[in-house]
Amino acid sequence: MYTQALNTREAAAPEDPEREARFQARIDAEEKIEPNDWMPEAYRRTLIRQIAQHAHSEIVGMLPEGNWITRAPSLKRKAALLAKVQDEGGHGLYLYAAAETLGVSREELVALLLSGKQKYSSIFNYPTLTWADIGVIGWLVDGAAIMNQIPLCRCSYGPYARAMIRICKEESFHQRQGYEIMVTLARGTPEQKAMAQDALNRWWWPALMMFGPPDGDSQHTDTAMRWRIKRFTNDELRQKFVDATVPQAHHIGLTIPDDKLTFNDTTGHWEFGAIDWAEFKNVIAGNGPCNKQRLKQRNASHDAGAWVREAALAYAEKRRRREAAGRLVAAE
Ligand code: FAQ
């Protein structure tokens, strides 16, 4: 989709207040910044960090659901889950490709994920214990992802914004398939409804943490908003998500596990209880329930796929030699 050859080292030129002012004026005028345009080094670094974390989240996010492909309760559910997990692999690839336009290679980024040096979303460090967890992931995790990512379709960096358009369309399908699983379970036997409620109880708070630290503690929000990478703060998006999701839970007779949850008639928003930020910090520091398992599994898959990468490189080299020989013959 993209090529890293597009990018030039000129983009990493020393900071220059005049150029920065012109750059900011373009952002303020809602122009898209493209790979070969001049950009401040900090803008480039922020984008690489965010896009890489986003790509890693898609790839690691395949693992908790992949766990249920062989145990999906019907052929229809299996086919849908398989397609969803494949979509997530595709999202990771578009995002690595978008990051490559900023002058970093996919291999470098993958190495940073595998060594644990770069983050992926906290949410994927929780286990999927029952089939209802697959419903909740689609409903809440994809739901939170969409809330966060729709504004990214208007991100100032062209390749990221364009990649997000297709990703959001697919996430929307994922969200609906998850909610439909929840509807089915909530209208099923008492045991199925209890399983749906239990999954909601375990995933609700981690889903709220996906939006990142509260605005007062967010290191990157101010600059990311000024550069129109982010269009809303973490707390604004979290509130939008709560407002959209609480009525969906009520509609299927499930209870949000928060005894402080109340609807404020004056503001028109659902007010919610305190998030356990110590848990969030612990998870992003690598100590969540599944952090070690996820990195171990990703490393094992990467190692097991070494022969595929070697075969693809050998084939490309063979083709290159054949084509070069063909050109020589044609020239004679
Ligand atoms: N987990 O200053 P801020 C999906 C880090 S995709 C881990 O507020 P920022 C699809 C943050 O990186 C889900 N770390 O940061 C799917 C920073 O650390 P750093 C992923 C987090 O960037 C569904 C530090 O805390 N989506 O789910 C988290 O302005 C189902 C300070 O934070 C994206 O990546 C977290 N939750 O705002 C797949 C969307 N939150 O880098 C499979 C794009 C914060 O300085 C199944 N990303 N941190 O070491 C974003 O919108 C932003 O990066 C935020 C964080 C909003 C995540």
142 lines ligand 1 (CB under 6 A): yes
pTM for the full model? Answer: 0.93
- 232's tokens: 């809303």
Instruction: Decide if 134 contacts 119 (C-beta within 8 A).
Output: no
Summary mean pLDDT of the chain = 94
Cα of 216 from ligand 1 centre, angstroms: 16
With the most atoms of ligand 1 within 8 angstroms of its CB, the residue from 87, 118, 119, 128 to mutate is: 119
Q: Residue whose CA is closest, atom 40 of ligand 1? A: 212
Q: Which atom of ligand 1 is nearest to the CA of 148?
A: 51
* Measured CA distances, 314 to 225, 304, 310, 319 (Å): 45, 17, 6, 9
For residue 45, the model assigns a pLDDT of: 97
| Degrees to nearest 5, angle at CA 205 with 200 and 208 | 115
Establish how many alpha carbons lie within 13 A of residue 301's alpha carbon, considering only the half-sphere containing its beta carbon. 13
Percent of the chain past pLDDT 70, that is, above it, reads 96
C-alpha–C-alpha distance, residues 146 and 153, integer Å = 10
Residue 87 in contact with ligand 1 by CB distance below 6 A? no
284 lines ligand 1 (CB under 6 A): yes
Give yes or no for residue 148 CB within 6 A of ligand 1.
yes
Q: Which atom of ligand 1 is nearest to the CA of 211?
A: 56
Residue 118: φ, ψ to 5°: -115, 145
Higher-confidence residue of 15 and 17: namely 17
57-70 in b/e burial notation, b at 16+ Cβ within 10 A? bbbbbbbbbbbbbe
Does ligand 1 have an atom closer than 6 angstroms to the CB of 40? no
At residue 14, the pLDDT reads 61
Q: d(Cα 200, Cα 194) in Å, to the nearest integer?
A: 10
Q: Is the dihedral of CA 240, 88, 104, 2 positive or negative?
A: negative
Hey, CA dihedral for 271, 274, 279, 284, is it positive or negative?
positive
Ligand 1 atom, smallest distance to 219 CA: 2
Q: What is the pLDDT of residue 328?
A: 76
**CA dist., res. 323 & res. 10, Å (int):** 33
User: Pseudo-torsion of CA 164, 5, 111, 301, nearest 10°?
Assistant: 70
For residues 150, 154, 156, 157, the Cα torsion angle rounded to the nearest 10 degrees is: 60
Closest by CA to 288, choosing from 132, 140, 121, 69, is 121
Nearest to 221, CA basis, from 234, 209, 211, 208? 234
- The pLDDT tens digits of the residues spanning 66-122 come to 999 999 999 999 999 999 999 999 999 999 999 999 999 999 999 999 999 999 999
DSSP state of 266: T
Q: Does the C-beta of 141 come closer than 6 Å to ligand 1?
A: yes
> How remote is the CA of residue 50 from the centroid of ligand 1, in Å?
7
- Region 153-180: mean pLDDT is 96
Buried b (16+ CB within 10 A) or exposed e, 172-202: eebbebbbebbbebbeeeeeebebbbbbbeb
What is the Cα–Cα distance from 276 to 29, expressed in whole angstroms? 39
Residue 327 is predicted with a pLDDT of 81
| pLDDT tens, position by position, 174-213 | 999 999 999 999 999 999 999 999 999 999 999 999 999 9
Which of ligand 1's atoms lies nearest the C-alpha of 209?
Answer: 36
